[in-house]
Every structure is written in structure tokens, then in C-alpha cells.
């Protein structure tokens, strides 16, 4: 499997993934697979997805972040999302996902939320 996103362990229970510049049909399955194999299957049920490099997301990318959010909850964990650009924030607001997802302005806030 080629690595799509960059990952790092933040704390003993949180794994962070940096999402690619374009998060869409051509790579969303690979990102999802990477999170499942490198986080959930290894016992990291708290994930932090960093969108600082992401400039474009389509409906497949949206579906993927919903699936990852739900999977984390099903494993008694949580997912947090940081660094969305303004266009993606508008998309999340239009779809009302900004009310469901754990979106934070800073990594510190997100880690505090996940590490409680």
C-alpha cells in the first residue's frame, strides 16, 4: 500500500494523520485504509485528522471523514479535525457536518478534547 497521508503518534492513545492536498475519489479509499490499518487495528481509537495541506475535498472525501468519525465512536474513541481551509469549512457548514464533527481551530484544543 502506498502511503497517502502522513501519520504520527501524538500520545499513547492518539494518532494524527495529515490529509493530502486533494481528498477525493482517487485517494479517499487509500486514506481510509491507512487510518484503519495504522490506527484502529493497532488500538489507537482516537484519531486527529489534519487538513492543513488539503485544498480540495469532494463528496467521497466527506463520506470518508464521516466513516472515520463513526468508526472511532464505535470503538469507544473519537475523531477530531483541524486546519480546514475556508472553502472546506463552507462545505461542512452547507452539509451541517460542522455540527456533528469535532472540529477545532488548533491542534492543542483537539488533543485536549481527545485526551480527556
Which uninterrupted H or E stretch holds 1? none
Task: Give the residue among 32, 19, 16, 39 at the shortest CA–CA distance from 108.
Answer: 16
Rounded to 5, what percent of the chain is helix, strand, coil? 45, 20, 35
* Per-residue pLDDT reduced to its tens digit, 58-103: 999 999 999 999 999 999 999 999 999 999 999 999 999 999 999 9
* Per-residue pLDDT reduced to its tens digit, 39-59: 999 999 999 999 999 999 999
Distance CA 57, CA 40 (A): 23
Question: Is the CATH number of domain 6-114 3.30.70.2860?
Answer: no
Considering the chain, what is the average pLDDT of its residues?
A: 92
**Domain ranges, ordered by start, for the chain:** 6-114
Query: Residues 54, 60, 65, CA angle at the centre, nearest 5°?
Result: 65
- pLDDT band for 5, please (50, 70, 90 cuts): low
Which pLDDT score, from 0 to 100, does residue 35 have? 95
Amino acid at each position: 500500500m502506498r502511503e497517502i497521508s502522513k501519520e504520527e503518534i501524538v500520545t499513547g492513545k492518539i494518532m494524527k494523520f495529515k490529509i493530502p492536498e486533494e481528498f477525493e475519489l482517487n485517494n479517499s479509499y487509500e486514506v481510509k485504509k491507512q487510518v484503519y490499518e495504522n490506527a484502529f487495528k493497532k488500538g489507537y481509537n482516537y484519531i486527529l485528522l489534519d487538513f492543513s495541506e488539503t485544498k480540495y475535498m469532494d463528496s467521497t472525501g466527506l463520506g470518508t471523514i464521516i466513516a472515520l468519525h463513526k468508526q472511532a465512536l464505535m470503538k469507544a474513541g473519537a475523531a477530531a479535525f483541524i486546519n480546514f481551509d475556508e472553502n472546506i469549512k463552507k462545505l461542512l457548514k452547507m452539509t451541517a457536518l460542522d455540527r456533528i464533527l469535532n472540529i477545532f481551530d488548533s491542534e492543542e484544543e483537539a488533543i485536549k478534547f481527545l485526551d480527556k
